[in-house]
Chain A
Amino acid sequence: MQQAIKNTSNSQNGLWGFIKTNIFDIFSVMGLVLCIVIFTITSNGNLWNSYNISILIESVCVYMILALGALFVYSMGYMDVSVGVQLGVYSILMIFILNATGSMALAFITILVLALLCGAFNGAVAVWLGLPSIVTSLFLMFVFGGIQYILIEQTGSNMISVKNYDISKFADSTVMIIAMVAVGLIVFYAFNFTKLGKYTRGIGSNETTTAQCGVNTTLWKVIAYMMFGVCVAIASVFLLARTGSAGKGTGSTYAMDIMLCIILGGMPLSGGMSSKVRSAVIGTLTYVLLSNGLTLSGVDIQTIHIIKAVIFLAIVLLTCRDKNKILPR
């Protein structure tokens, strides 16, 4: 019904109506295209050499899987700042298990269970205690940060490496592409054709109304966070595969980077019905291209920070609609 009204409205207003309805998508696609065009020119063609394409795939993989999972949380207008330290702890735990047993299955199942528990904690405790979900994720961030520190301290070094297992097979470009496509398809289906996607977007639009429609919002919040947890566990494998080692700071920047990816993809941080899977895809590609392209173009490191900040500001200015709903709950 809603779609029908939208289509009728679009056809009545023609091109202008289409642009008005899809303005955020258009800006995000334009941003990606702009990055590709500019960096193709400024990098003197280095952007498209085979080596750079392989490192782009390697860089995109972890961000993409995380951003796709984060979509369920951000579409509710929530966020999870513990994802970075979770990645770090899962990487370290996998190394411990791989070095002790050589079993990737055991290592992955262990971190998957932990990630699901953290997801359930984030979703459920916030509701039960009536706290904003960012508070529970902050709690998890501090707990996991401490665990990461202690685990590494115990090794007597500032990093540990995988010894008894060839983790590098997960760093192969083909494996990474297959993983991204598989996760992308599952997320696309779950987000667009199941109750999970419909209800998370509903919660983002208006939680009270969604609850009054008979939806158990607590349950769907927990499921959404657990879905993100699954993606965090998968992303941990690919993050570890990149270097075969982990330390105190592994994963530390990912929480904010994922938020940036989603914003760059044109998705409002307040979530809602305008949340789309393509926001995660386009945003991730734009973010990775931005970092890669600026370095390839010889931009000074201090200038890179400034450029990223300016772009972030510009995107927020473009996408924020309601002064009360700029930031997640």
Chain B
Amino acid sequence: MKKTFKKIISLMLIAVIVVSCMSLSACNGGNGETIKIGIGLYQDQGPAVTATRAFLDGISQELNCEFTYVTLSQTDEAANKTAAQQLISSGCKGLILTMDSATEAILEECAKAGIYLGGYLSDYEQSFDSIKSNPNFVGTVVDGRYSGTAWGEEIAERIINEGYKNIGMIKFPSFAFPHQNEMDSAFRAKIDEYNATAADADKITVQAQTTELMFQPLSADYFSANPDIDAIYGMCAGVDFIYPTLTQNNKTNIKLYTAGFSVDDSVLNNFGTSGNGCFQELVFSNVEAITYPLVMLLNKIEGQEFSDNPSEAQRVDSSQIRITNNEELNTVKEKSMYYTGKFENSFLSASDVSALLAKNGGTHEDLVKAVQSMSTEDLEAK
């Protein structure tokens, strides 16, 4: 009796899946005319994924596109190649991938299938030089600025102005994020410049050796080794990797200037002058930056070319949202698509994106300008 019950239950489960797949197939029918684009993200959920999907859903009808999503592995090249192959098999004419992993092997697959690849919020650091002339690669939009120097200097200026004296330095490993070394060096250079003329009592001490997090949360030992710090420059994703350790060790009196963002109230309610005031700066890139690889792909697929088309694939900077005070945070909450997840809050409407296509008279210069006009000031001006 028990055995029969188990078998009935399992067969029912399988039947449910079969029926679901059949119905799904029926729903997918009739889209033969649309251009299918495969999107590979390194996460399958979270606000960035929600906002990216909302943006692409919002523009899909105007551009006559449909989007299929896969999740990429941050460390497994073979898994990423399989994901790309499956997208190609499912009829995608273009791929947009956030990971520079197995890129050359994936481009070989694209060449075989006659389709194209673009990058999204990734500088393709490891493969860019070898693939930029590949005709199947359309370029990539970077997660913010390719060079980390400017942000390092900007944070140093804030630290100097706000009067903090002992600064902790935390980043991800250089092999994974080489540009965080530029942020680190630029920050230190700016502080050294200040210290050269400052009175002894006003001099700023910077943690001698920057702590590298191996994609694990900061260890509580950090505070024993650095007992006097009053602020941390977290070049890595401090919301996830630094702040939890600060709260667990009652160290939220230390001010945190960091990359990353969260829509979680436990973070946003402690920003600036609110709550424990631990967060002093948060930075994130806009999902609308996906417009760059998308438009480049659609041009290629439709056999169109910009009048000022670059001779080889480009690595284009995108503007970021820097939140430095409560007013800016309120603006983000009210107007940023990353926070609201609503297409109506997007920097670009469907017709704006369509107008950027070569067939509609758009230029490469316009396209670059579009993804570089999404700063905090642009958000406030909306």
Contacts and interface: CB of A to CB of B under 8 A. Distances in A.
Contacts of A113: none
B198 interface: no
B91 interface: yes
Contacts of B173: 153
Given A243-B77, A245-B102, A249-B74, A38 B18 contact: yes
Interface string A307-329: 10011011101100000000000
Interface residues of B, number: 51
B89 A248 contact: no
B13 interface: yes
Interface in A266-283: none
A294 B102 CA distance: 23
A295 B126 contact: no
Interface stretch (B79-87, B144-152, B353-361): B79-87
Interface in A132-162: 152-153, 155-159, 161
A274 to B, nearest CB: 16
Contacts of B73: 249
Given A243-B105, A292-B86, A159 B126 contact: yes
B113 interface: yes
A310 B17 contact: yes
A323 B20 CA distance: 31
A62 to B, nearest CB: 8
A246 interface: yes
A296 B86 contact: yes
A222 B14 CA distance: 38
A317 B77 CA distance: 34
Contact of A42 (B6, B16, B24): B24
Given A302-B45, A318-B7, A295 B86 contact: yes
A44 B29 CA distance: 8
Q: Is the interface of B mostly helix, strand, loop or mixed?
A: helix
B22 A42 contact: yes
Interface in A35-64: 38-39, 41-44, 46, 49, 51-52, 55, 58-59, 62
A247 B77 contact: yes
A247 B76 contact: yes
Most buried by B among A43, A239, A310, A317: A317
A250 B90 contact: no
Interface residues of A, number: 56
Contact of B75 (A43, A252, A301): A252
Nearest to A52: B89
B175 A157 contact: yes
Interface stretch (B63-71, B157-165, B231-239, B318-326): B63-71
A22 B88 CA distance: 39
B104 interface: yes
A249 B101 CA distance: 11
B78 A243 contact: yes
Interface in B127-165: none
Given A44-B25, A296-B86, A244 B104 contact: yes
Nearest to A154: B175
Contacts of A317: 6-7, 9-10
A253 interface: yes
Nearest to B81: A243
Contacts of B44: 301-302
A245 B79 CA distance: 12
Interface string A286-299: 00000110111111
A55 B82 contact: yes
B21 interface: yes
B176 interface: yes
Contacts of A318: 6-7, 10
Contacts of A251: 76, 78
A150 B82 CA distance: 26
B21 to A, nearest CB: 5
A297 B68 CA distance: 10
Contacts of B101: 159, 247
Interface of B: 6-7, 9-11, 13-14, 16-18, 20-22, 24-25, 28-29, 44-45, 68-71, 73-79, 81-83, 85-91, 101-102, 104-105, 112-113, 126, 173-176
> What are the 9 closest A-B residue pairs judged by CB atoms, nearest first?
A249-B75, A42-B25, A314-B10, A52-B89, A295-B86, A317-B10, A249-B76, A55-B85, A243-B77
Given A161-B104, A297-B21, 13 more contacts: A38-B21, A42-B22, A46-B89, A59-B82, A152-B175, A247-B76, A250-B75, A250-B77, A295-B86, A295-B89, A298-B90, A302-B45, A317-B7
Interface of A: 31, 34, 38-39, 41-44, 46, 49, 51-52, 55, 58-59, 62, 152-153, 155-159, 161, 239, 242-253, 291-292, 294-302, 307, 310-311, 313-315, 317-318
27 contacts: A31-B14, A34-B14, A46-B90, A51-B88, A55-B89, A153-B173, A157-B126, A239-B78, A243-B77, A243-B102, A245-B102, A247-B77, A247-B101, A249-B73, A249-B79, A251-B76, A253-B76, A292-B86, A292-B89, A294-B21, A296-B90, A297-B24, A298-B24, A298-B90, A302-B44, A315-B10, A318-B6
